[in-house]
Structure 1
């Protein structure tokens, strides 16, 4: 009895386009499912597979189920996904759902089969926490239909890390956002699951080392991250992984994925769209894009990671890069700004994983005497200061104000100081003012404008690697 099947790339791990595929009956007892698709396709060629070749013509194929051969007829409508048994008397076959069920431990083994049947880019998603993965029922209170607010004093509820399994997280993602499978073969790694306010240098180094380890195994990387410190993490990864030469895209959301009005779904689709655009394996990309840097994708914009700032606490367009053009804007079309993409093809990949955290940001406030407010920073263990000055590099220049005498004292002790403007855009020219010129003569460093987030991370980086000046560009941050 014939079985009807949609002529869709989702059937049998996604490739009716191949003339010949390996399928097989369920192997020895205890054989594991392949990505939850069904017992008829085993997860391991050698241990659980009885390979048979099935030749497809324009309209028919052979489907093997529990050793029985059934005729399969392809429908013309590509939107039909599920298999339909034409006769109830026929042996029941598994129905393909639009999203696979929970992953199994053999997930990585099955990647070879997926890659053979459907050669899409391979993407690793690193989950670090943030709003996207929150439990909405325990984190939010509904004010009115469509309007919610976070429960006061909670900061949101994050499931315990030990309760999160990569296969289950991937299954949930593909259930909520099944379109992700059109772009890539996706793997998930639960690195940690926490509010991003708790992320810092220890976690940045952990992420950088994991990306370094997996660099040759994947075509691109997605990082799900909380919004509060996403710009810091993006800057840190861009500096530590100079010359990585593969897309690393950070994203998140303002509302959890499970909520009806969440922006998480679109941010995930936009992120994987950009991350796979550089791959020649992506059938949805019109042409490969020379995109191989750390970026933030949020609110329909792709931005260089070390130029990005969080500019709004609650709007969906929460991030911007005020000092650098967007790398791409996503609407009906993906409009790439090719000339602004990082040109790193000649960079030698040299990962560096050390950061000196004895750094502080200090904004200059009129009327505040730093000798009283901050005192001997170097004596208390601080080794670097990002000094946020007025405009293009000005500060109070009378000795009574204390800033120049304080800088002179701290510089003599060895404190590293970098000037950063309090303005959100524009270049630095401290030499135009007396105070700026005096500071430069003391050995205070300055250069093109960096975001305060990137400047403080670069200070941590350069304190560990003294051969790299703060004013030297590393990954497009200047």
Structure 2
């Protein structure tokens, strides 16, 4: 049987009721005690590397998770990371960029209801994550509500329901029903399994936190961009629809040009969850194509955020940053 390592980081899945509200208290060994039957399919070990509400997750803690996986990489065949749901999409994306060329599965999971509760979704999610970590399928994934999703496409779309995660703009990798993994037939899974065979795993945890996500809204004041120019190295602009940014009474386009001239990495994405941007359709979008902007394509905001942090932390010139940002990364 394969050896799987559980890395516990906190979150709802590990929480207990207190007078102050839910607080993560359960460690990795306690968590595994709730699903003893899973030990029939693999050798399981568990370590607790932190115990935080995922609201308090940050790039330094994400780097700690990546480093923990890297340090145990030769000892185990697969990894499961339990995590709070609120920032799970960010961490899963960050791990994808920090652990490039990984040849083993890393599955991030959590729950909407604590594992101690009678009606918890934690046992199913954790069991599914361990099952998929037992597969010969490399990459960073999220396991939630019977679905396996690539970490760069998993987004929390509901605040309470147990089906709170969806794979946005990319098919789910697999579903797990009654303990059986059913791969998505529309994906060429052999291609994804083989993609990193000739490359060596790299741990690169430098993440630049000097970025800002800015949502455009009707009436946004252009002077906010002067502050951005003086205090950040990169900005992700959530445009209207398919890529519209105001250029008339509230001229934001000229301010974007100033950011670019000042050397900032400017990423254009959309406020819409699905289908991404296309600046070639409307005049308000075509104006932007004259400038050195970075196209987010159909990336989620979570993926774009962590990808830009990684790019600014590890790459020096604009051309390299743009190529990395605009390349598809599973």
Q: What TM-score do you get using the length of structure 2 for normalisation?
A: 0.91
Q: Which has the higher contact order (CA 8 A, sep 6+)?
A: 2
Match of 2:154 in 1: 308
**Residue 225 of structure 1 contacts residue 251 of structure 1 at CA under 8 Å; is this kept in 2?**
yes
Question: 2:244 matched to 1:394?
Answer: yes
1:328 has 2:174 as partner: yes
Rounded to whole Å, the distance in 1 between the matches of 2:61 and 2:188 is 29
- 1:407 to 1:325, Cα distance in 2 relative to 1, 3 A: same
What's the CA shift string for 1:272-305, capped at 9, x where partnerless? Answer: 1111022xxxxxxxxxxxx111000011111000
In structure 2, the CA distance between the partners of 1:434 and 1:475, relative to structure 1 (3 Å rule), is closer
Structure 1 counterpart of 2:41: 183
Q: Distance in 2 between matches of 1:122 and 1:417?
A: 43
Secondary structure class of the residue paired with 2:69? helix
Structure 2: gaps (5+ residues): none
Q: Which residue of 2 aligns with 1:93?
A: none
In 2, the alpha carbon distance for the partners of 1:439 and 1:354 equals: 30
Equivalents in 2 of 1:308, 1:176: separation in Å?
26
1:378 is displaced (CA, Å) by: 2.0
Task: Quote the offset at 1:234 in angstroms.
Answer: 0.3
Q: Which shifted more, 435-444 or 417-426?
A: 435-444
Instruction: Give the aligned partner of residue 423 of structure 1.
Output: 272
Give runs of aligned pairs for residues 68-83 of structure 1, distance below 5 A.
none
Aligned pairs (5 A) from 1:6-85: none
Shift of 1:158: 2.9
Match of 2:22 in 1: 156
Cα distance change of structure 1 residues 439 and 155 upon mapping to structure 2, 3 Å threshold: farther
2:72 partner SS: helix
For residues 25-424 of structure 1, the aligned pairs below 5 Å read: 120-136=1-17, 138=18, 154-159=20-25, 169-170=28-29, 172-278=30-136, 291-332=137-178, 333-337=180-184, 339=187, 341=189, 342=192, 343-371=195-223, 373-379=224-230, 381-398=231-248, 400-424=249-273
RMSD (Å), alpha carbons:
2.0
Indicate conservation of the 8 Å contact 2:311/2:325, yes or no.
no
Residue 375 of structure 1 deviates from its aligned partner by 3.0
What secondary structure sits across from 1:469 in the alignment?
A: helix
Q: In terms of mean alpha carbon deviation, does 338-347 or 200-209 score higher?
A: 338-347
Residues 1:438 and 1:347: Cα distance change in structure 2 (over 3 Å): farther
Query: What is the CA–CA distance in structure 1 between the aligned matches of 2:90 and 2:32, rounded to whole Å?
Result: 28
CA distance 1:155–1:411, change in 2 (3 Å) = farther
Counterparts of 1:329 and 1:460 in 2: how far apart (Å)? 31
Residue 392 of structure 1 aligns to a residue whose secondary structure is coil
Q: Is the 8 A contact 1:309 1:321 kept in 2?
A: yes
Aligned residues of 1:252 and 1:264 also touching (Cα < 8 A): yes
Instruction: Note closer, same or farther for the CA distance 1:353–1:395 as it changes in structure 2 (3 Å cut).
Output: same
Measured at CA, do residues 416 and 474 of structure 1 come closer, stay the same or move farther in structure 2, by a change above 3 Å? closer
Which 4+ residue blocks in structure 1 deviate beyond 6 angstroms? none
State the shift of 1:221 in Å: 0.3
Distance 1:451 1:477 in 2: 12
1:242–1:475 contact (8 Å) kept in structure 2: no
**Counterpart selection for 1:433 from 282, 294, 312:** 282
Q: How many residues in Structure 1 have an aligned counterpart in Structure 2?
A: 321
2: CA distance between counterparts of 1:236 and 1:415? 21
**Which structure's CA Rg is the greater one?**
1
- State the secondary structure of the residue aligned to 1:361: strand
Residue 223 (structure 1) shift? 0.3
Offset, 1:471: 4.5
Q: Relative to 1, partners in 2 of residues 1:420 and 1:347: Cα closer, same or farther, differing over 3 Å?
A: farther
* Aligned match of 1:456: 305
Name the CA distance, whole Å, in 1 between partners of 2:22 and 2:70.
Answer: 31
> CA separation in 1, counterparts of 2:53 and 2:327?
27
Per-residue deviation, 1:228: 0.4
TM-score, normalised to structure 1, is 0.64
What SS is found at the alignment partner of 1:125?
A: strand
